[in-house]
């Protein structure tokens, strides 16, 4: 009996070992790709599922306009087969050429390809000529997702069918988010909001809203500009003020007190893109 039990134990141990080796090999077989911000990681993972490991260059709480990569990130980039860039973010404008020089084997894909970009009115050196916050528009995210899928199919064609099936499922969810936003905002009379950094340009464009910005060319507003913003809030009857954690919120607080308007903290750089877009919409719809 003891001999039988020992044999069973050995068999189970061998099965477990094989399973662990299999899991280890599966992990080793995953393709590594790099993105700039967390929403891009979210998009890649909806399409790639567990087939791809995604590294994010700009950590939560940091600005993708001014962040500088660490030496460790520069070294880790050599493990990636591809860099799926958002297109136009300050980090990418400042660092992409250096990153490619550091890892010449990496393939760079611009996920903004095919999107109608909106001109940027900022002269900040960290901005390009177009507004880079393309992911705040569900319509744009459909294009981003298609570009991501095409890139993954190119670097990992063996799993092309899986990527395309996952893309189709994700497109359905994106369209559902778009419908929910339209339904929530269709009866809103006040169509203006104030935000520190112009992250919601494409969102405002898609849903007929007016975005007023506190930051002037990447700098804090002057006392005169601040007074003008306060007047705009009163004249436009702005009831929603957004603030983001990666930026200075002192002037937002002043405007809020002067106009007796409650500020709302949002995170357009959050990983869960669907949840954050609906959160922003609910704030606007209920103010």
Provide the CATH number for the domain around residue 146: 3.40.50.1980
Return the pLDDT at 127.
Answer: 53
Model confidence at 21, in pLDDT bands (50, 70, 90)?
A: very low
Asked whether residue 28 falls in the same domain as residue 155, the answer is yes
pTM recorded for the entire structure: 0.87
Asked whether residue 118 falls in the same domain as residue 203, the answer is no
Return the pLDDT at 115.
Answer: 98
CA distances from 121 to 30, 201, 206, 271 (A): 41, 11, 18, 27
Asked whether residue 223 falls in the same domain as residue 142, the answer is no
CA distances from 64 to 87, 133, 147, 268 (A): 11, 10, 21, 12
Asked whether residue 82 falls in the same domain as residue 145, the answer is yes
In a domain, 6, yes or no: no
Asked whether residue 268 falls in the same domain as residue 139, the answer is no
Lowest mean pLDDT of 78-92, 116-130, 229-243, name the range: 116-130
Asked whether residue 145 falls in the same domain as residue 196, the answer is no
Question: If we measure between CA atoms, which residue out of 259, 258, 260, 264 comes closest to residue 240?
Answer: 264
Lowest mean pLDDT of 145-154, 206-215, 238-247, name the range: 238-247
Domain boundary among 153, 182, 211: 182
Higher pLDDT, 127 or 197: 197
Domain boundary among 140, 160, 182: 182
Sign for the CA dihedral angle at 237, 242, 248, 253 comes to positive
Asked whether residue 163 falls in the same domain as residue 206, the answer is no
CA distances from 153 to 31, 39, 77, 158 (A): 12, 20, 20, 8
* Strand, helix or coil for residue 287: coil
**Residue 84: which domain range?**
23-182
Asked whether residue 194 falls in the same domain as residue 172, the answer is no
Lowest mean pLDDT of 57-66, 171-180, 251-260, name the range: 251-260
Q: Report the mean per-residue pLDDT for the chain.
A: 88
On the question of pLDDT at 128 being above 60, the answer is no
The per-residue pLDDT for range 99-115, each reduced to its tens digit, is 999 999 999 999 999 99
In a domain, 73, yes or no: yes
Question: If we measure between CA atoms, which residue out of 188, 185, 196 comes closest to residue 219?
Answer: 196
Q: Which residues pair with 77 in a beta bridge?
A: none
């Amino acid at each position: 009996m003891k001999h039988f039990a020992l044999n069973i134990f050995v068999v189970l141990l061998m099965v477990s070992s094989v399973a662990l080796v299999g899991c280890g090999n599966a992990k080793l077989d995953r393709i590594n790709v790099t993105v700039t911000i967390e929403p891009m990681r979210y998009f890649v993972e909806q399409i790639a599922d567990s087939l791809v490991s995604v590294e994010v260059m700009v950590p939560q709480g940091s600005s993708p306009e001014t962040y500088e990569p660490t030496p460790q990130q520069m070294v880790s980039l050599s493990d990636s087969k591809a860099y799926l860039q958002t297109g136009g973010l300050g980090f990418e404008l400042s660092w992409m050429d250096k990153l490619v020089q550091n890892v010449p084997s990496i393939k760079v894909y611009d996920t903004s390809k095919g999107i109608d970009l909106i001109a940027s009115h900022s002269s900040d050196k960290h901005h390009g000529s177009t507004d880079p916050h393309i992911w705040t528009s569900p319509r744009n995210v459909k294009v981003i997702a298609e570009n991501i899928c095409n890139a993954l199919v190119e670097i990992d064609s063996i799993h092309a069918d899986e990527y395309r099936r996952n893309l189709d499922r994700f497109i359905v969810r994106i369209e559902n988010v778009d419908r929910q936003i339209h339904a929530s905002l269709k009866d809103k009379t006040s169509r203006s909001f104030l935000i520190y950094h112009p992250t919601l340009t494409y969102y405002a464009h898609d849903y007929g809203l007016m975005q007023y910005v506190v930051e002037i060319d990447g700098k804090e507003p002057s006392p005169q500009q601040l007074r003008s913003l306060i007047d705009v809030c009163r004249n436009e009857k702005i009831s929603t003020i957004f603030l983001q954690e990666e930026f200075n919120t002192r002037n937002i607080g002043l405007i809020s007190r002067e106009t007796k308007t409650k500020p709302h903290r949002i995170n357009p750089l959050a990983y869960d893109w669907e949840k954050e877009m609906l959160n922003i919409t609910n704030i606007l719809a209920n103010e």
